[in-house]
Structure 1
Amino acid sequence: MKHSTYNVLEAYKRNKLLQYRCSLTLLLSLGLFLGSSLLFTNHLQRLQAEHAVHSSSQNLTSKSENNRCRVDRGTEALPRGIISRTSDFELRPLLGTRNDQKRSKLSMNLLAMTAGIEQKDNVNKIVMKFMLNNFTVMIFHYDGVVDEWNKFEWSSRAIHVSAVSQTKWWFAKRFLHPDIVSEYEYIFLWDEDLEVDNFDPGRYISIVKEEVLEISQPALDPKSYLHHPITIRNSTVKLHRRIVQHMDAGFECREDSEGPPCTGWVEMMAPVFSRASWHCVWHLIQNDLVHGWGMDYLLGYCAQGDRTKNVGVVDSEYVFHPGKVLLGGVGASKVRYVQRILSHWSKVSDFRRPVSLGKLFLLIWDGHNQWNCRELPKHQIKLQVQPLQISNGWTQEVW
């Protein structure tokens, strides 16, 4: 009897212990489950918050091209935030700070021009006008002479680059990369022989901004040495974007003309480019481009839209072009070169013939992604206009 009672008690105790252990296990499991749920919820909320911040940051950066987040080639090993993608031509002191540092920061426009020492007096007049309007000035010396410019007060504040017998397009391709000049609103890429008695850079920029001209030039005084009628000053208007005129060889610029040299066109001696248009033009300049002849007909591709509206000639601010023979002027070597072109004419199939003021321009495709344009006296050549096929998917009007 005692043994039977003992067995019942032992079974009862084991059952109670088992129930206790099961309850404890259940409580521990429930606690672990609730804790894991809270941790997972907090982690999920943190991930959602980080994703929202990241998405917001992406939206903000996508709205600003200048702040766009990207990895530049060669910067992969640098810490985030240390990269400087742009530069400028502002001079920096070796020690201390500049007294005119506040003024220097206001330089928002750039004048870059080729110059030889024989034109020093005229270049001095040009630079003085531009520096009074707080331009950064860059001089390309094609004759190798630099030290003789030190007599001018502004010389120490200008950037001097020297390479013998190179044109401004050679210099521009190598020293005016868009990332370098992106701090400047407008880039003036001028020849050295322009007289600026009737030109004010400040007023010119005001007009260009008001009229939203991405590519422009000052008009030429009618007494200038002229190549194209569209550049001639019209004293009755502030600016013009087209001409309506009957020209040589039956060619005519009409109201509905949509291409150069009737509209959307500037000459290469004194072009002015906005920051955005220069970013395009720099890529348009071929590495072996010399004189730039013919490139004026292609600038319209860089007009940031409709070239008939965004390209123009400013009449109220005009210059005088004396037509002096400078670097690469007409000489015996050029005549011989023209004769070689004519002797090989039978091998050339693609050309066009824009006519202006009694002169012919021959645009020749050399088969190596390069257009070469040469000005020919009318009596030296008789051509029939043929259809022009331009590679790289470009099409251009035939004149």
Structure 2
Amino acid sequence: MSLKRKLCHCILFTAALFLFVSLFTRSLPIISVDDIKRIQFRSDEARSAIDPCMDQNRSVGVEALPKGIVTLTTDLEMRKLTGQVHTKENKSSLKSLLALAVGIPQKQIVNEIVEKFLSNNFTVMLLHYDGVVDEWNDLEWSNRVLHVSAMYQTKWWFAKRFLHPDIVAEYEYIFIWDEDIEVEHFHPRRYLEIVKREGLEISQPALGDHSSFHYSFTKRQSEREVHRSVFDLSQNCTENATQFPCAGFAEIMVPVFTRAAWRCVWPMIQNDLVHAWGIDFKFGYCVQGDKAEKIGVVDSEYIVHKGLPTLGGKDSKGTQKEGNRTAVIKRCVDEMHTFHKRWQQAADKDLCWTDPYKPLNE
């Protein structure tokens, strides 16, 4: 007898037995949703017993391959060309990734950043937006980091195309940073210890004194180790506030994501909105739990943001780069409005989606 016929007989037998018992007792019960679920569960169990392959959920596109040969994720680690091949490669435990947008005028600053991260077991990827790669070769660590180059592109353009969640799946935390920062008071290992202990899924280091900043929320609070909210009556930020600009926010300048949070954030990045302005207002949807608890700013490990006009500014010789700075900022603002419009349209059309942060009285 074929598997399909066995399965059909099993389901028919279950239904017939239920009907027989009901008629025998001369009492037809009202079948509840729970009864239906129990019958369905037992039917599924029967199907699994007959056909053990039915619940394998093979990934689309690789159905023709034996399951054990399929490798759906990877990493950015370099491999040797020679030597013994191991059955299972040894993976570095608790390794994280720094993806850093860079231009040659900031070579000294970048050198300080990279040296600090490499010494703390990070994989480093440099995203060259000015096309200059060879001039980094004189630095000792140049051959130990990955170099990706594309003229006049932003770090979010690079991230969308080269940091797919399946590519960075082996990294515990993903840092996607601008390069115009000073890290004298920032220690990667201590930072990770803090965000793990605090349960922060999306975070950023605080901006220290003399920093260029856009939001007061990200400014360092020197008396604290971490802050998740601010008390500022000038912005209507009371003790119980849970929304931006009072709580649950990390900026796109120097964000840090867990791998789980990045798997949610990456699809939200729009292919054509390369500056990603406005996306940080939606980071809260990508944490497991309350964004007011799971997003925060680390004050004890802080940076200084220099606010250099790297895209649309001038190069080391004083020559104007692609597009002037004013035009770049205008594009950023236009992208932010476009992103918010797309979000609202998507939310309105998706009848199966519920906004967890929408006020109950709306």
The TM-score normalised by the length of structure 2 is: 0.74
1:322 corresponding residue in structure 2: 306
Q: Where in structure 2 are the equivalents of 1:1-399 lying within 5 Å?
A: 69-96=56-83, 105-106=92-93, 108-247=95-234, 251-329=235-313, 333=324, 335=326, 365-366=337-338, 370-371=339-340, 390-393=344-347
- Identity %, equivalent residues: 50
1:356 corresponding residue in structure 2: none
Higher RCO, 1 or 2 (CA under 8 Å, sep at least 6)?
A: 2
Report how far residue 174 of structure 1 moved: 0.6
Counterpart-to-counterpart distance in 2, 1:201 and 1:167 = 24
Report how far residue 364 of structure 1 moved: 5.9
Larger Rg: 1
Report how far residue 201 of structure 1 moved: 0.2
| Counterpart contact for 1:88–1:180, Cα < 8 Å | yes
| Counterpart contact for 2:229–2:242, Cα < 8 Å | no
Counterpart-to-counterpart distance in 2, 1:126 and 1:230 = 24
Structure 1 residues 236 and 327 mapped into 2: Cα distance closer, same or farther (>3 Å)?
same
| Counterpart contact for 1:106–1:134, Cα < 8 Å | no
Secondary structure at 2:205 match in 1: strand
Report how far residue 362 of structure 1 moved: 8.2
Structure 1 residues 397 and 197 mapped into 2: Cα distance closer, same or farther (>3 Å)?
farther
**Matching residue's letter, 1:320:** V
Counterpart-to-counterpart distance in 2, 1:397 and 1:223 = 36
Structure 1 residues 252 and 112 mapped into 2: Cα distance closer, same or farther (>3 Å)?
same
| Counterpart contact for 1:213–1:309, Cα < 8 Å | yes
Report how far residue 296 of structure 1 moved: 1.2
> What are the superposed Cα offsets for residues 54-85 of structure 1, whole Å, 9 maximum, x if unpaired?
77xx9xxxxxxxxx943122211212310011
Counterpart-to-counterpart distance in 2, 1:116 and 1:217 = 22
Counterpart-to-counterpart distance in 1, 2:343 and 2:200 = 29
> What are the superposed Cα offsets for residues 203-253 of structure 1, whole Å, 9 maximum, x if unpaired?
000000000000000001122112111111111111000111133xxx421
Counterpart-to-counterpart distance in 1, 2:303 and 2:95 = 22
Long gaps (5+) in structure 2: 1-44, 315-319, 349-354
**Matching residue's letter, 1:302:** C
Counterpart-to-counterpart distance in 2, 1:338 and 1:326 = 12
Report how far residue 104 of structure 1 moved: 6.8
Counterpart-to-counterpart distance in 2, 1:389 and 1:93 = 44
| Counterpart contact for 2:311–2:325, Cα < 8 Å | no
| Counterpart contact for 1:107–1:135, Cα < 8 Å | no
Secondary structure at 1:326 match in 2: coil
Counterpart-to-counterpart distance in 1, 2:245 and 2:213 = 14
| Counterpart contact for 2:202–2:257, Cα < 8 Å | yes
Report how far residue 144 of structure 1 moved: 0.6
**Matching residue's letter, 1:238:** E
Equivalent pairs counted in the alignment come to: 296
Counterpart-to-counterpart distance in 2, 1:115 and 1:327 = 10
**Matching residue's letter, 1:228:** Y
Secondary structure at 2:141 match in 1: helix
Structure 1 residues 188 and 253 mapped into 2: Cα distance closer, same or farther (>3 Å)?
same
**Matching residue's letter, 1:391:** Q
Report how far residue 397 of structure 1 moved: 7.9
| Counterpart contact for 1:259–1:397, Cα < 8 Å | no
1:12 corresponding residue in structure 2: none
| Counterpart contact for 1:115–1:141, Cα < 8 Å | yes
| Counterpart contact for 1:90–1:104, Cα < 8 Å | no
Counterpart-to-counterpart distance in 2, 1:207 and 1:171 = 28
Runs in 1 of length 4+ with deviation above 3 angstroms? 101-104, 328-341, 361-366, 394-398
Moved more, 75-84 or 130-139: 75-84
Counterpart-to-counterpart distance in 2, 1:206 and 1:83 = 34
Counterpart-to-counterpart distance in 2, 1:340 and 1:115 = 20
Q: RMSD in angstroms over aligned alpha carbons? A: 3.2
Long gaps (5+) in structure 1: 1-50, 59-67, 342-360, 373-387
| Counterpart contact for 1:218–1:315, Cα < 8 Å | yes
| Counterpart contact for 2:129–2:150, Cα < 8 Å | yes
Report how far residue 333 of structure 1 moved: 4.4
Counterpart-to-counterpart distance in 2, 1:339 and 1:193 = 21
